[in-house]
A and B are shown apart, each in its own frame.
Chain A
Amino acid sequence: MKKFKSLVLIQIKDLFYNVQGSLNIKNKKLASILQLFLLGAILAPAVYFSWVTYQAFAQLNQPELVITTMYVNSSIIMFFLGIPIIISVFFFSKDIQFLSALPIEEEKIVFGKLSTVYVYLLAISAAFVLPSIVIYAVRSGFSLSIIFFGPIAFLLAPLLPLLISSFLVLLFNKLIRKSKYKNILTMVGNLVMIAVIIIIQMGITQQAADPEIITNAYLNNESLINFIGVRFPPSIWLTKMVLGSLTNTIYFIGINLLFVLILYFTAKYFFKKALLTFVEGERSRGDIYYEKKNRGMQLFKRHIMIIVKEPTFLLNALLSMVVPLIIYVVMTFSGQFSLDLLKSEQIRPFIGLIYSGIIIFPAIVSNISSTAITREGQAFWQTKVLPISSKMNMQYRILTTLVINLTGTILLGIIGYILLPVTLQMVLIGAIFAVSTNLFLAVIDFTINVYRPLLNWSHPTAAVKNNMNVTMALAIRLVLGLILFGIYKMAGAWMTNYSLVLIVLSIIFLGLYFINRFILYNKLVNRFNKIAA
């Protein structure tokens, strides 16, 4: 047990040091303040959401349902965020072979690695489950059962999503471990897995949304919790556990224990058959060739390959390209959305705006430029010693982002053109807007990375996700959105001409792009040259 404790401690310490390191702020006090601010920024909307949900259920005289709802929601988020993290810590971290050489049982290594994922998911539980319990307790009174079972519910909430996702990920990777394309399959397979989990959730909700079931649920108090909890039955048990039901406590702790045991007894098998086999040497890839290419093309290929060959980076890039498509498929599948909605007369004047909004999605969601230097990690030295100019070195990193994002834009543009009743003029204006937005954001994100390079990361998730640069890039989009919203509120009548608005915005973004580009290639070259691991 001592070994396991040490292993868990070292993994968690490593995680915290990585998170601190990824903030990349030398002033420790400032880093702490920033961490608290970030935590607050993430927690505040979640707490508010719990509060609003509590009030809605309080009106139905069932305020405890806030706990059920928040646990169900947090579980979906945990599945969604947990799977990529599990893949990263299991299959693409650098320490798995090192750990396998230590005198410690394989199952303990698996659970030790999972401890870091648990910490991530516990943060999600702290944002959703904990506030719901606290709000319920404050408003409905602190009973002994809440004081005792509330903290247990908060601490156990991440376990089921964590254990189920881990089991599925390990099982899937066991099946594909010998494939030539195992890296791509890992990424695509797990993307499909996330989609399937969400579709099942949506499907169940849709099934439960039968008018008869809803009427019964409102008439019968007990049915309402079942109606909400049907998407994830342990949520019913967790809620009733917090309320003091011993039977449901046994159910909830029992199901958690059952999954712990399942993973514990299969961990040794998966460790050998999935984990170690996966990190073994790869097969040969084609023939030896001698082919001359343009230098720019080689640099571009190198940056693209860094993303394509690293599943965590690829998953990140792909998700940002096709998120609207996934949302559309899921919502259509679950019957929550229909294209007929867009054909209504009320929506018709906004179609051009909606189309433009959809095709700029890759530029808004994707922030891969903000990690264009960071992604290279310790290998960054390589392009620095090459006989190429710093401008060229930077240019092709930005070009990589543009090509990826514009591919997403074109893909969404074509699908949007087929599905939405848009005119050629709308497509053209949307395209101009998308190009200018992509250019501006790609350059500004890259500037962030020039100011804040982080090359000493230990696993790829730290490079592209748990990264202050990503947060800053998203903050820029938020500020931009708020400014545009402010202008919209103040401008009044002329804002109703959406084509004009989009053209004006395109000109502004292009102007900002050229200004930023000038600063980057003239004033920030020295800063770029000083970057070293």
Chain B
Amino acid sequence: MILNHILNNIRKEGAIMLKLTNLTKVYENNNKKAVDNINLSIKQGEIFGFLGPNGAGKTTTIRMIAGILDITEGEISINGFDIEKEPIKAKSSFTLVPDHPDIFDSISGIEYLNFIADMYEVSTEVRKEKIEKYTKAFEIYNDLTQSIKSYSHGMKQKLLVTGALLPEPRILILDEPLGGLDPRSARNLKNIMREHCQNGGTVFFSSHVLEVVENLCDRIAIINKGKIIACDELKNLKENPDTTLEELFLELTENEEI
């Protein structure tokens, strides 16, 4: 109870960990506005769900936040640092789990994790504790000496999540993190996301699994055709308390198409 109260206070009054201001992305090759003037603020301690149909602009937004894609217009502030002006400080504040586990895969799992730990300057003791904790939870500990090439899609995803958790990031950004995970690992990841927020961290993730978003998120935003069409706590978005997130999602995205 006390913990929840503290957390709620952190969320209400906490620092803005991620702020998107008038964010726009136009791809040069087709002049299409993939992301159109979006504004979002995510507070410390929040689990924030980012929803939208395929091609709505979720991954583009996440890639801009992570500094992978260039921003056409607008600003992104992570833990108070502008991703374009102070990229290293901004990048030190978050870790990313992308939707496709495309990593350099000729090395072994443990080599990859040591690489990530060194990049975020994680001490030997902490990395040992975290690697053992998460890889055992995800049941990939015994595969760590194998080449990543031999991993399944789900195993690569688990390795990426483990790597992202090693530096205890202020913000954990995950793009479709549950794709490819078995039910036990999906449950573990959900627990880890909750635990991360309880420890003062923030989670920003996109997903198609509406049931997970509904049960896990403090707030959600729905993006469609590059624009944010809804952003609030789920209970505030529902006109009728019995409406499910699926019904709400379909209604909102359908209305947009009309």
Interface string of B91-132 (1 = CB under 8 A from A): 110011010101111111011001101111101100110010
Chain A residues whose C-beta falls within 8 Å of the C-beta of B110 in the assembled complex:
288-289
CA distance A529 to B69 in the complex (A): 8
CB distance from B88 to the nearest CB of A (A): 5
A298 touches B (CB below 8 Å): yes
CA distance A301 to B107 in the complex (A): 11
Report the nearest A residue to B135, measured CB to CB: A288
Chain A residues whose C-beta falls within 8 Å of the C-beta of B89 in the assembled complex:
387
- Whether the pair A284, B145 counts as a contact (CB closer than 8 A) is yes
- Whether the pair A288, B104 counts as a contact (CB closer than 8 A) is no
Report the nearest A residue to B63, measured CB to CB: A532
A64 touches B (CB below 8 Å): no
B149 touches A (CB below 8 Å): yes
Q: A285-B146, A302-B115, A306-B104 are in contact. Are A386 and B91 (CB under 8 A)?
A: yes
Residues of A386-408 at the interface with B, using a CB-CB cut-off of 8 Å, are 386-390
CB distance from B190 to the nearest CB of A (A): 23
CB distance from A312 to the nearest CB of B (A): 12
- Whether the pair A384, B104 counts as a contact (CB closer than 8 A) is no
Chain B residues whose C-beta falls within 8 Å of the C-beta of A207 in the assembled complex:
none
Chain B residues whose C-beta falls within 8 Å of the C-beta of A293 in the assembled complex:
114, 118
B150 touches A (CB below 8 Å): yes
- Whether the pair A387, B124 counts as a contact (CB closer than 8 A) is no
Chain A residues whose C-beta falls within 8 Å of the C-beta of B105 in the assembled complex:
379
- Whether the pair B104, A532 counts as a contact (CB closer than 8 A) is no
B88, B104, B145: which contacts A287 (Cβ < 8 A)? Answer: B145
CA distance A341 to B216 in the complex (A): 80
Chain B residues whose C-beta falls within 8 Å of the C-beta of A287 in the assembled complex:
145
B67 touches A (CB below 8 Å): yes
Q: A305-B107, A385-B91, A532-B69 are in contact. Are A290 and B124 (CB under 8 A)?
A: yes
A295 touches B (CB below 8 Å): yes
CA distance A378 to B99 in the complex (A): 12
CA distance A387 to B88 in the complex (A): 4
Chain A residues whose C-beta falls within 8 Å of the C-beta of B121 in the assembled complex:
295
CA distance A532 to B144 in the complex (A): 29
B66 touches A (CB below 8 Å): yes
CA distance A285 to B112 in the complex (A): 13
Residues of A310-325 at the interface with B, using a CB-CB cut-off of 8 Å, are 310
- Whether the pair A286, B145 counts as a contact (CB closer than 8 A) is yes
Chain A residues whose C-beta falls within 8 Å of the C-beta of B29 in the assembled complex:
26
- Whether the pair A306, B145 counts as a contact (CB closer than 8 A) is no
Chain A residues whose C-beta falls within 8 Å of the C-beta of B182 in the assembled complex:
none
Chain B residues whose C-beta falls within 8 Å of the C-beta of A284 in the assembled complex:
145-146
Chain B residues whose C-beta falls within 8 Å of the C-beta of A222 in the assembled complex:
none
B147 touches A (CB below 8 Å): yes
- Whether the pair B123, A292 counts as a contact (CB closer than 8 A) is yes
Chain B residues whose C-beta falls within 8 Å of the C-beta of A291 in the assembled complex:
114, 124
Report the nearest B residue to A308, measured CB to CB: B106
CA distance A285 to B132 in the complex (A): 18
- Whether the pair A385, B68 counts as a contact (CB closer than 8 A) is yes
CB distance from B62 to the nearest CB of A (A): 11
CA distance A387 to B108 in the complex (A): 22
CA distance A49 to B120 in the complex (A): 57
- How many residues does chain B have at the interface if contact means C-beta atoms less than 8 Å apart? 44
Q: A288-B145, A293-B118, A309-B107 are in contact. Are A385 and B66 (CB under 8 A)?
A: yes
CA distance A526 to B56 in the complex (A): 27
Chain A residues whose C-beta falls within 8 Å of the C-beta of B107 in the assembled complex:
305, 309
CA distance A100 to B147 in the complex (A): 22
Chain A residues whose C-beta falls within 8 Å of the C-beta of B98 in the assembled complex:
381
The A contact surface, by secondary structure, is loop
- Whether the pair B128, A290 counts as a contact (CB closer than 8 A) is yes
- Whether the pair B150, A282 counts as a contact (CB closer than 8 A) is yes
Chain B residues whose C-beta falls within 8 Å of the C-beta of A289 in the assembled complex:
110, 114
CA distance A291 to B125 in the complex (A): 10
A378, A381, A387, A530: which contacts B119 (Cβ < 8 A)? Answer: A387
- Whether the pair A302, B104 counts as a contact (CB closer than 8 A) is yes
- Whether the pair B118, A298 counts as a contact (CB closer than 8 A) is yes
CA distance A26 to B27 in the complex (A): 14
A376 touches B (CB below 8 Å): yes
Chain A residues whose C-beta falls within 8 Å of the C-beta of B87 in the assembled complex:
389-390, 529
- Whether the pair A290, B88 counts as a contact (CB closer than 8 A) is no
Report the nearest A residue to B150, measured CB to CB: A281
Chain B residues whose C-beta falls within 8 Å of the C-beta of A390 in the assembled complex:
87
Chain A residues whose C-beta falls within 8 Å of the C-beta of B92 in the assembled complex:
387
B70 touches A (CB below 8 Å): yes
- Whether the pair B70, A530 counts as a contact (CB closer than 8 A) is yes
Interface string of B9-28 (1 = CB under 8 A from A): 00000000000000000000
CA distance A283 to B119 in the complex (A): 27
Q: A298-B115, A381-B68, A532-B69 are in contact. Are A389 and B88 (CB under 8 A)?
A: yes
A247 touches B (CB below 8 Å): no
CB distance from B221 to the nearest CB of A (A): 22
- Whether the pair B146, A298 counts as a contact (CB closer than 8 A) is no
- Whether the pair A378, B88 counts as a contact (CB closer than 8 A) is no
CA distance A263 to B70 in the complex (A): 50
Chain A residues whose C-beta falls within 8 Å of the C-beta of B88 in the assembled complex:
387-389
B120, B147, B149: which contacts A387 (Cβ < 8 A)? Answer: B120
CA distance A252 to B92 in the complex (A): 66
A382 touches B (CB below 8 Å): yes
Q: A298-B119, A309-B106, A379-B102 are in contact. Are A387 and B146 (CB under 8 A)?
A: no
CA distance A48 to B89 in the complex (A): 59
Residues of B41-78 at the interface with A, using a CB-CB cut-off of 8 Å, are 63, 66-70
Chain B residues whose C-beta falls within 8 Å of the C-beta of A306 in the assembled complex:
104, 106
CA distance A389 to B131 in the complex (A): 26
- Whether the pair A385, B96 counts as a contact (CB closer than 8 A) is yes
A-B contacts, 20 listed (Cβ < 8 Å): A290-B128, A292-B117, A292-B123, A292-B124, A293-B114, A298-B114, A298-B115, A298-B118, A305-B104, A305-B106, A376-B104, A378-B102, A379-B102, A381-B98, A385-B96, A387-B91, A387-B120, A388-B91, A389-B88, A532-B70
Given contacts A292-B123, A294-B118, A302-B104, 6 further A-B contacts (CB under 8 A): A378-B102, A385-B91, A387-B88, A387-B89, A388-B119, A389-B87
Q: Which residues of A contact B (CB under 8 A)?
A: 26, 280-295, 298, 301-302, 305-306, 309-310, 376-379, 381-382, 384-390, 529-530, 532-533
Which 4 A/B pairs are nearest by Cβ-Cβ distance? A309-B106, A281-B150, A378-B102, A387-B92
